[in-house]
Amino acid sequence: MKSAVVVFPGTNRENDIARALELSSGHKPAMVWHGDSNLPKVDLIVVPGGFSYGDYLRCGAMAAHSPIMREVKARAEAGTPVLAVCNGFQIVAELGLVPGTLMRNAHLKFVCADVHLRVETGQSLFTSGYRAGQVIKVPVAHAEGNYFTDDDTLKRIEDGGQIAFRYSDADGDVSRGNPNGSRAAIAGVFNETKTVLGMMPHPENAIEARFGGTDGKGLFDGLVAALG
């Protein structure tokens, strides 16, 4: 599997994502600067976490207008899978590649902690390494991860199976464990074709046991199995 990681000023999880991709695929991803206008031919594009442009204006708002994102959007619309994590989720939401938006956490504080996620579907490129209903534990680190969408869109994405992960407790109860106030406890959402995934938690920081757990590795292993 060939992959590319987009890097912005303020990105701070590009090396973590690169490590996760290399561990699962055996290949180092291409690192693509935000000011570039061309992407190599790859099987997967990753928009990683961090604080692109210092989170000025609105998280992801400036990065969404970087030259490389025009090509990312074009590739995504042509069917190339895109994984967008944390700040990456905010960026692709600004681009309209996934539904909804990310607001300030309900308690108005930065949250950095391990959280539990309930996998809502195993039927996607990104979640094929898990089973529906499985509970995994991965870290979050954000101040604006409060997912919001209107009633009609929420019904549409629920009916369409576009919710990838929900925050939960260790037993999978989604009425508990929500760290930021996200609507319907949504932690990760797909586009309509499930070729783009935006998620706030960091699976790339849960890939090695010596650093706290391996529950995130299933996402990367599943992508390699699906994309070759």
- Catalytic residue numbers? 86, 202, 204
Instruction: Give the residue from 116, 203, 200, 199 showing the smallest Cα distance to 162.
Output: 199
Is 212:186 a contact under the CB 8 Å cutoff? Answer: no
What is the distance between the alpha carbons of residues 166 and 150, in angstroms, rounded to a whole number?
17
Of how many residues is the chain composed?
228
* Residue 48 DSSP label: -
Instruction: Give the residue from 199, 217, 220 showing the smallest Cα distance to 207.
Output: 217
* Residue 201 DSSP label: S
Which residues are CB-neighbours of 151 under 8 A, at least 6 positions away?
Answer: none
Q: Which residue has the tokens 């708002």?
A: 61
Instruction: Give the residue from 157, 138, 156 showing the smallest Cα distance to 200.
Output: 138
Instruction: Give the residue from 53, 90, 95, 88 showing the smallest Cα distance to 70.
Output: 95
